[in-house]
Amino acid sequence: MVKKTKTLNLDLNKLDEKTLTSILSRIESTLKDFLDKKLPPKSEYDLILSISKEEDRITLLIDVGIKGGYSDIYDYDTIIGDAINVARKEFERIIKQYKKNTENTS
């Protein structure tokens, strides 16, 4: 498992469970859209996504598994890596937008 850490300087006290659930739902939607566009017909995928808030960090877990044919044409490992990057970038985009919105209301 690859762990990447990025500092976003966000006041985590302002993130409640409802907000975290909403963030996770948006990431899942983005990830499904990406995989539906990239994978060949009849491919199947499993997603495990979780988000948790600790004292000084938010942890996003992304696990993608793909089962499909055409492995001679499609590089599934690359698609999985790209999918994880898409999800991570969407997470960062959402968090930055949330941070911007909370700074404007403070």
Domains of the chain (ranges plus CATH)? 12-105 (3.30.300.100)
Q: Which among 86, 73, 64 is positioned nearest to 1, based on CA atoms?
A: 64
Res. 38 pLDDT band, cuts 50 70 90: very high
pLDDT at 42: 87
**Distance of alpha carbon 62 from alpha carbon 30, whole angstroms:** 13
Q: What is the mean pLDDT of the chain?
A: 87
pTM recorded for the entire structure: 0.82
The pLDDT tens digits for 55-79 are: 778 889 999 999 988 888 999 999 9
pLDDT at 4: 64
Residue with tokens 């700074």: 103
- Assign 104 to helix, strand or coil: helix
In this model, does residue 51 exceed pLDDT 70? yes
The first and second tokens of residue 24, run together, are 């996770």
The pLDDT tens digits for 81-93 are: 999 999 999 999 9
